[in-house]
Amino acid sequence: MKIVAGVDEVGRGPLAGPVVTAAVILPVDYDLPGLTDSKKLTAKRREVLSKAIKQQALCFAFGQASLVEIDELNILHATMLAMQRAVTGLSIEPTRVLVDGNRSPDFGIASQAIIGGDGLEPCISAASVIAKVARDQLMSEYALQYPQYGWQNNSGYGTKQHLEALLEFGVSPHHRRSFAPVARLLNKQ
Report yes or no: 52 and 27 within 8 Å, Cβ to Cβ: no
Average pLDDT over residues 42-58: 97
110 pLDDT higher than 80? yes
- Measured between its terminal Cα atoms, the distance across the chain in Å is 58
Q: Which of 40, 51, 26, 187 is nearest to 121 (CA)?
A: 26
- pLDDT of amino acid 109: 95
Give this prediction's pTM. 0.94
- pLDDT of amino acid 188: 82
Residue 4, classed as helix, strand or coil, is strand
Residue type for position 107: F
Average pLDDT over residues 21-39: 95
Confidence tier at 17 by pLDDT (50, 70, 90): very high
Report yes or no: 49 and 41 within 8 Å, Cβ to Cβ: yes
C-alpha angle with apex 61: 53 to 149, nearest 5 degrees? 90
Domain that holds residue 17: 4-188
Q: Which of 78, 86, 65, 69 is nearest to 18 (CA)?
A: 65
Mean predicted lDDT score pLDDT of the chain: 96
Q: Which CATH number belongs to the domain containing residue 130 in this structure?
A: 3.30.420.10
Whole-angstrom CA distances from 133 to 54, 65, 129 are 12, 17, 6
For 116-163, how does the pLDDT look when each residue is reduced to its tens digit (9 = 90+)?
Answer: 999 999 999 999 999 999 999 999 999 999 999 999 999 999 999 999
Q: Count up the domains in the chain and report the number.
A: 1
